[in-house]
Structure 1
Amino acid sequence: MPSAVYILGLAIFAQGTSEMMLSGLLTEMSAGLGVSVPQAGLLISAFAVGMLLGAPISAVVTARWSRRNALLAFLAIFIATHIVAALTSDYRVLIATRVVGAFVYAGFWSVAASTVIGLVPATARGRAMSVVAGGLTIATILGLPAGTFIGQHLGWRAAFWAVVIICVPVLVAVAVTVPNRHAGPAMPVRKELRALRTGPVVLLYATTMVATAALLVTFGYLGALLTESTGVRGTWVPVILGIYGLGSLAGIVVGGRTADRHPLRTLAVGISGLVISSLVLALTAQYWPVVVVAVFLLGAFGFGTNPVLNSRVFGLAPDSGTLGAAGNVMSFNVGITVGPWLGGLAIGAGMGYPSVAWIGAVLGLGALGLVALSRSAGAPVSSADIDVPEAVPAEL
């Protein structure tokens, strides 16, 4: 595996830490900025909006750039937004930095994905994407608690400075390891869109949205479920969340090894496991030993599908190297937004915290149906059956 693949995974870890850490800093940021906790929570929503907008726009704008220059530009702007965020006391400015930071982070994700696909053979796409996406998993395991710890003991601004300190050497590493080959004529946007307007691609994106929502509807309220339904003490919640993170890491490693040869089977097994884990969690939420096992499996099966969901579009639509990756980012973020929203509706209706796991199971069944449709749609069974398109490496 080229060293650039691991460096790009490290870059996703550095930026993903910023994405994750705010959930543990809302109280401190609320007090420091003189706003309510719900207002501070809008900083998380602002990041989601930036991700949704940034993926397609930034990918198109930088289509004629060399991949390395685009990655460096995105990372430099990301660093700048965090310097401004660490220095400002204006809530509106902080909102703006979150939107802009997420915008370029989404662009980095899109370009990093297309870069990685061009650096490895078709038979190693899923494994390579598991390394890159694994950066976000490690951000969940290490970055979230570390950012929260720093913010609680040194102030929330210190957490933003910590992200800057991590990102600067990563920027240098990207400059050293990622090839600086310039792109040829950019693929027309209309042609890329046509390549994406096929049944198999639409089903893939729909599967990504629904499967991600199935996982996030439960994970978004997992801490509250543990304290309110399971009766776990607050001091144990980070430990159990860490177990979820370990499961996620195990799942993405295993999924990366099966994604290229058996993509649809990997999706079917992973989503089936997600459904079963959600059902177990819903039915046994009051029994903490079972809950701990279910939480581990939830992370493992939920993230086990990630390599396929991230890499399969490049085999299904080889003429959409720019917008194909952007579509992945958008699909994941739709699921990340919709899942917790549905869970919030259920909890607000008085259905209790276990209801989110029931919703996750139902959504998972819907995702399984989409996988079955994909199998009958005549799409390639394995990305290894598709040659690496010449247009992608030419853009590196």
Structure 2
Amino acid sequence: MPLPLYLLALAVFAMGTSEFMLAGLVPDIATSLDVSVAAAGLLTSAFAAGMIVGAPLMAALARRWPARAALLGFVLTFAAAHVIGALTTSFTVLLGTRVIAALANAGFLAVALSTAATLVAADQKGRALAVLLSGTTVATIAGVPGGAVLGTVLGWRATFWAIALLCLPAAVGVVKGIPSAAAGKDAPAGPSLRDEIAQLAAPGLVLVMLLGALVNAATFATFTFLAPIVTDTAGLGDLWIPVVLVLFGAGSFVGVTLAGRLSDQRSGLVIAVGGPLLLLGWVAMGALATQPAMLLLLTFAQGALSFAVGGTLIARVLYAAAGAPTMGGSYATAALNIGAAGGPIVAAATLGTGAGDLGPVWVSSLLVGVALLIALPLRRFLAPRVGQPIR
């Protein structure tokens, strides 16, 4: 894989850390800015909403810009939002910076996904996506726990400063590693924006976006509420929470890396084998989470399967959106973040029911089950190439 892909992954790592780090910083932020914990929790919702809206909006805005200029602009805006967030004493301003950061993140990821497809051979989009998503998975392994420790020792503002500083080498990497004509106005004229948006009417694209959103919703439904499962259901101490989160992140890195080598030519195989195993894994976690050893094992396995299947489906979005070369990345980004925002909302509604702390796990099982029921009769749309049978 080309070096520029790994430089893009560094920026994705910084942005992924920022997206997930607030889970451990909300109480400190609430105390510091004199707001309720519930109000501080809106920072996460604001970021998710910004990602969903920002992906197509920012991609449309930047579609005729040179890729290097667009990516650099987005990463510097992201860094600036964190500098302002680290300095402000106003919760309203902080909330605004989270929306701006999300818009920049969404724009960067949308352009990066489209750019990645131009940096590799036509049949290697899945591997290119795996490299980019590895930035997110490494964020869950190292970035989020590291941010939590930094926030605990030096305060939440230090974490914001760290994210801003991490963007600087990523910006240098964009300047040095991304060809100025990789995409944008220096490239040959492509489809109009109207034609690219019209691609959303294609059944195959709608299907893979829906499936990607469902699987990603299942992933974040449980990931968001792992902490009470670790402490209350499995009976482990608080110190085990970061251990379990790291296990999930390590599994996700393994899953997205291995699937990246298969998703281009064997996407049907990954989905046909990984999908049922993913469903069985969520059911097993719901039944066996009271046993600490099984919870640890299943957390790693579900991280691997979730990102293997989910990453493969998002790669299929890029293939299905081949007729939308500048907007296809935004469609993949939107599918990812609709799931990331919607899954936890559905899961949260189960916490006050008889299902208790395991409600989110059963939501994950249901979401993957629905995805499999939809995919089964329409599996021809998941074939690696148009006209080629599923494998």
* TM bracket, shorter-chain basis: over 0.9
CA change 1:383–1:127 in 2 (3 A) is: farther
Aligned residues: 384
C-alpha separation between the residues in 1 aligned to 2:120 and 2:66? 17
CA contact (8 A) 1:273 1:297 kept: no
**CA distance in 2: counterparts of 1:60 and 1:38, whole angstroms:** 34
Displacement of 1:270 after TM fit?
2.4
- 1:91 and 1:383 map into 2 onto residues whose CA distance is 49
Distance 1:375 1:384, change over 3 A: closer
Give the fraction of aligned pairs with identical amino acids, expressed as a percent. Answer: 36
Q: Is it true that 1:289 corresponds to 2:313 in the alignment?
A: no
Give me the whole-angstrom Cα distance separating, in 2, the residues matched to 1:285 and 1:55: 36
1:1-396 pair list within 5 angstroms: 1-181=1-181, 182-185=186-189, 187-376=191-380, 379=381, 381-383=383-385
For 1:381, give the aligned amino acid.
Answer: A
Q: Which amino acid aligns with 1:246?
A: A
Between the aligned partners of 2:378 and 2:332, the Cα distance in structure 1 is: 16
Aligned partner of residue 326 in structure 2, secondary structure? helix
Aligned to 1:232, the other structure's residue is in SS state coil
SS of 1:348's equivalent in the other structure is coil
Moved over 4 A (4+): 383-386
CA contact (8 A) 2:318 2:332 kept: no
- In 1, the alpha carbon distance for the partners of 2:223 and 2:273 equals 20
Q: How far did 1:178 drift?
A: 0.2
CA distance in 2 between counterparts of 1:202 and 1:282 reads: 30
Q: Distance in 2 between matches of 1:340 and 1:156?
A: 23
Distance 2:138 2:121 in 1: 25
After TM superposition, the score normalised by the length of structure 2 is 0.95
Cα distance between partner residues in 1 of 2:387 and 2:160: 44
Give the secondary-structure state (helix, strand or coil) at the position aligned to 1:46. helix
Does 187-196 or 175-184 show the bigger shift? 187-196
Residue 335 of structure 1: how far off its partner (Å): 1.0
1:122 aligns to what SS in structure 2? coil
Q: Give how far 1:380 is off.
A: 6.5
Q: Distance in 2 between matches of 1:74 and 1:83?
A: 14
Give the RMSD, CA atoms, in angstroms. 1.5
TM-score normalized with structure 1 length: 0.94
Q: Distance in 2 between matches of 1:341 and 1:23?
A: 15
Partner AA of 1:321 in structure 2: P
- Structure 2 counterpart of 1:106, which letter? A
Whole-Å Cα distance in 2 between the matches of residues 137 and 120 of structure 1? 21
Which whole-Å CA distance do the structure 1 matches of 2:20 and 2:48 have between them?
Answer: 11
Unaligned runs of 5+ in 2: none
Q: Tell me by how many angstroms 1:285 deviates.
A: 1.6
Distance between the aligned counterparts of 1:101 and 1:186, measured in 2?
A: 29
Structure 2: distance between partners of 1:383 and 1:154? 51
- Write the letter of the residue equivalent to 1:10: L
